[in-house]
Structure 1
Amino acid sequence: MYRKGIKSIVLERSDTLRATGAAINVYPNGWRALDYLGIGSELRKKCVPIKGELRSLKRSDLMHTLANHLPNETILFGQRVISVETNPEAGFPILHCVDGTIINCKVLIGCEGVNSIVAKSLGLKAPKNLSICAIRAFTSYPNGHGFTNEFVRMKRGSFTIGFLPINEKVVHWFVGRPWISKDSMAEKDCTLLRDLTIDMMEGFPSHLIDMVWRVDLDSLGLTCVRYRPPWDLALGTFRRGTTVVAGDAMHVIAPFIGQGGSAAIEDAIVLTRGLACAFRGSDGGDWDRMMKVRVERAMDEYLKERKMRLMRLSMQTYLLGLMFVVPSKIVKLVIIFTLLAFFGLNSLGHAQYDCGPL
């Protein structure tokens, strides 16, 4: 918004800038989007290339870089929104915060993640859970890790571990496995989570076990894998008036193809591009009925442009997720044929997408 001259504010529920999760794997489509935002070159310096343009980027580096390119007054911290309503006369959204603050908006973009209050106000169904958990973390090697710059994954039974270097001294690793009863305690106790993970790694190479043992505990996190199924994306209502959703608030994409973060950045570019056209020739102060209509039309065009892209990503991750949870070999074979029918032999075709410039 700022790069296109659109005045806006960001409401952050936390008292400080926070980045949930350890790292984000960024494929070529994500780097194109970051280049369009003007921060791609800066962020590339913070991570090593793995294959082509695949890189693992610390979420904190991404968040701080984005924030540093905004005017100081853009982000308002400690603003926890608890409900959204619509002004019955003007039709504009009204936000209610936990401290009693009421904020009248002209345009509201809900991009506050999987538990989005804005998405709930639009009547979107809650994301569904897979019986799989994802563990993500960093391990630091003060003297260098010695790994080659490649993305490594290993699977034994229902336990999958993968890792890729961020730089010469830090490795980003992740684990995917079924959810177990002890996880409700482990998600609050990083030491317990580490020990549980190691207990499940019998038969894995010693350097992987050592990687988990030496984990930076502050970075260690466990989440239940959640997703919005493709049919909910096809049938859901993502706009009402001048309120719309983006990112995980719209499409909760399971992590199996590493596109959740990049897809959210694509959303931001496509939506901003449309809104910039709607605001063209206006200083933002003259909000007549036609301005409201232009903004709503821009939001509809954004949703139309994004829907097919997001449905394909959602379908691919949904099918891959089923591979983890269905026991039947016959069903797994059907899933494999379905993946081939929809996506062909190039499982990384999603990484070649170009959302276009701002």
Structure 2
Amino acid sequence: MDKSRPQARAVVVGSGIGGLTAALALHRRGWQVTVLERAASLRPVGAGIGLAPNALRALDTLGLGDELRELATWQGDGGLRTPGGRWLSRTDARAAAARFGGPLVMLHRSTLIGLLAGRLPEGTVRTGAPARLADPGTPGGRPARVAFPDGELEAELLVGADGIDSAVRTALFPEHPGPVYTGMTTWRTVIPAPGEPFAPHETWGRGALWGTQPLKDGRVYAYAAAAAPERSFAPDGEGERAELLRRFGHWHQPIPSILAATPADAILRHDVRQPARPLPAYHRGRTAVLGDAAHAMAPTLGQGGNQAIEDAVVLAHHLAPGADPGPGLAGYSADRMGRTAAIAAKSARIARLATLGSGPAVALRTALMVLAGRLGPGLALRTFDSIADWRPPTRTYADLAPEHPAGSTTC
């Protein structure tokens, strides 16, 4: 970088996984970065997250991949079950790692947030700073400008990573209809693991699904989804716990044990929304959007956070500090729009399949799942072809060293 020129400035709005990954990637590229976060602290909202090989390779470019592999649980053999406990199909962790070049790992979101924030220079993240896009800027012309209660900031680059209700996206594309309810609601929790051992699993029933995944620290990440009217939330945590017991309390173990051990205040519930139609671009002027602000998707492929991480690394790859950001932002949009739209569409299809409510449709789905299971893990793994095998546009640890060993549930 030319020491005689002032350092190029980037402002990131939002300190979730996508925002902090973008901040770190841009910082490592040579940008002077400021992160503006509306909340009063960096305490992450959320529960567990699965990082697939595609996201881990992106994090390798930031020097975080191996540390995360050490801190996380490597997903072991598990599979898909019926509410009565019957295995419909089995997953093979070693086969998946061999096919996609690495493992799927599970960890708490707070662990990832802490690692990302800890690699940024002190003072980079400003909490309690709700931001408003005042001017997206023009490439080769005026800078982007963001306003917040204590004043304004100008920057050569602005990144909107402010989530599904992104104010940055709304300011960039006021004509876009924004996200709409998909018909599916979700619950998540992280609690100490029950006494009896269990294999990682996802269980599909009539109009609902449940998943249970172990974490390395002795806790378990459990999640559920169901077809439900929009905003049909219970008035308090006890009501949500009662709703989960009603829907899932009679399903196979360890589901009843997990529900019995789950405090009401440990349950998170969110309706699943995604854009009514894709954005026309992921940038305008000197401003880009990424993650849920650009392409919110159903959680059924587990790719929401993974795609935000990809976005961040690809964005920084295209944006050399000191250069006109116009061509780089156009390259970022071109690289990311088709891929994320396809993954969002596939996630939506699987969400509809997983929450079928008709008895005959569920019976047909079960029969097809059994057949797929008998044909071996390769058929199920094809779902993630062209997703989990993605590689970032720079050389990574995985390119320079032998593949990581697979098949263990812990590092």
Other-structure match for 1:55: 105
8 Å Cα contact 1:146/1:168 also seen in 2: no
Q: Aligned to 1:311, which of 337, 341, 356? A: 341
1:138 corresponds in structure 2 to 190
Asked whether the equivalents of residues 205 and 355 of structure 2 are also in contact (C-alpha less than 8 Å), the reply is: no
Q: Which residue, 291, 299, 303 being the options, matches 1:255?
A: 299
Classify the secondary structure of the residue corresponding to 1:174: strand
Which has the larger share of helix?
Answer: 1
What is the TM-score normalised by the length of structure 1? 0.83
Which residue matches 1:12? 37
Unaligned runs of 5+ in 1: 283-290, 337-343
CA distance in 1, matches of 2:33, 2:394: 20
- Residues 245, 129 of structure 1: CA spacing in aligned structure 2 closer, same or farther, 3 A cutoff? same
Q: What amino acid sits opposite 2:55 in the alignment? A: G
Structure-1 residue corresponding to 2:288 = 244
Residue 146 of structure 1, CA deviation: 4.6
Aligned to 1:128: 180
Which sits farther off after the overlay, 346-355 or 320-329? 320-329
Which residue matches 1:274? 318
Maintained 8 Å contact 1:28/1:352? yes
| Paired position in structure 2 for 1:176 | 225
- Give distance in 2, aligned partners of 1:217 and 1:155: 24
The CA distance in 1 between the partners of 2:271 and 2:394, in whole Å, is: 34
Moved over 6 A (4+): none
Match of 1:265 among 288, 309, 331: 309
TM superposition score normalised by structure 2? 0.73
- 1:165 matched to 2:190? The reply is no
Say which of 361, 377, 384 aligns to 1:348: 384
Cα gap change, 1:326/1:195 in structure 2, threshold over 3 Å: closer, same or farther? Answer: closer
SS at match of 1:10: strand
Read off the aligned partner of 1:203 and give its amino acid letter. Answer: H
Q: Any conservation in 2 of the 1:140–1:216 contact (CA below 8 Å)?
A: no
Shift of 1:21: 1.2
- Cα 1:178–1:296 change in 2 (3 A) is same
What is aligned with 1:74? 124
Whether the 8 Å contact between 1:93 and 1:243 is mirrored in structure 2 is yes
Matched, 1:225 2:272: yes
2:325 aligned with 1:295? yes
Letter in 1 for 2:345: M
Whole-Å separation in 1 of the counterparts to 2:47 and 2:357: 30
Cα distance change of structure 1 residues 298 and 204 upon mapping to structure 2, 3 Å threshold: same
Whole-Å separation in 2 of the counterparts to 1:31 and 1:168: 20
Question: Aligned-pair distance for 1:83?
Answer: 4.4
User: CA separation in 2, counterparts of 1:214 and 1:325?
Assistant: 26
Count of paired positions: 328
CA-to-aligned-CA distance 1:172-219 (integer Å, 9 cap, x gap) = 010011225884334xx2222112101212531243111022125554
Q: Which residue of 1 aligns with 2:353?
A: 323
Q: How far, CA to CA, are the matches of 2:217 and 2:145 in structure 1?
A: 48
- The answer to whether the 8 Å contact 2:168/2:289 transfers is yes
Structure 2 gaps of 5+ residues are 1-25, 76-92, 98-102, 369-378, 396-411
- CA distance in 1 between counterparts of 2:344 and 2:248 reads 30
Q: In the aligned structure 1, how far is the partner of 2:356 from the partner of 2:262?
A: 31
Does residue 229 of structure 2 align to residue 204 of structure 1? no
Which of 103, 107, 114 lines up with 1:64 in the alignment?
A: 114
Distance 1:25 1:145, change over 3 A: farther
SS across alignment from 1:160: strand
Q: Which amino acid is 1:348 matched to?
A: F
- Separation in structure 1 between the aligned mates of residue 57 and residue 263 of structure 2, nearest angstrom: 31
Measured in 2, the distance between the counterparts of 1:353 and 1:164 equals 24
**What SS does structure 1 have at the residue aligned with 2:188?**
strand
Question: Deviations 1:149-170 (Å, cap 9, x if unpaired)?
Answer: x430112211211111012521
Q: 1:22·1:219 contact (CA, 8 Å) conserved in 2?
A: no
CA RMSD between the two structures: 2.8
In the TM superposition, residue 86 of structure 1 has moved relative to its aligned partner by 4.6
- Deviation (angstroms), 1:63: 0.4
What is the CA–CA distance in structure 1 between the aligned matches of 2:326 and 2:313, rounded to whole Å? Answer: 17
One-letter amino acid matched to 1:351? A
Partner SS, residue 45 of structure 1: helix
Question: In the TM superposition, what whole-angstrom CA distance separates every residue of 1:12-46 from its partner, at most 9, and x where no partner exists?
Answer: 11111131211111111111112111111222222
| Counterparts in 2 of 1:168 and 1:108: CA distance versus 1, 3 Å | closer
CA contact (8 A) 2:211 2:222 kept: yes
1:173 partner letter: A
- Is contact 1:152-1:164 (8 Å) kept? yes
- In 1: Cα distance, 2:126 partner to 2:231 partner: 37
Letter in 2 for 1:93: A
1:96 shift after superposition: 2.2
Q: Distance in 1 between matches of 2:254 and 2:356?
A: 30
Mapping of residues 74-153 of structure 1, within 5 Å: 74-86=124-136, 90-97=141-148, 99=149, 101-123=151-173, 124-141=176-193, 145-148=195-198, 150-153=199-202
Distance 1:66 1:219, change over 3 A: farther
Q: CA distance change for structure 1 residues 146 and 42 in 2, over 3 Å: closer, same or farther?
A: farther
1:7 positional shift:
0.9
Give the C-alpha shift of residue 105 in structure 1: 2.5
Q: Which has the higher contact order (CA 8 A, sep 6+)?
A: 2
Q: Given that residues 145 and 169 in structure 1 are in contact (C-alpha distance below 8 angstroms), is that contact kept between their aligned partners in structure 2?
A: no
Query: Residues 136 and 260 (structure 1 numbering): CA distance in 2 closer, same or farther, change over 3 Å?
Result: same
Deviations 1:248-306 (A, max 9, x none): 11110110100010111111111101112xx2xx4xxxxxxxx4xx2111010011111
**Could you tell me how far apart the structure 2 residues matched to 1:33 and 1:73 are?**
25
Aligned to 2:48: 23
Q: Which moved more, 1:81-90 or 1:107-116?
A: 81-90
Identity %: 25
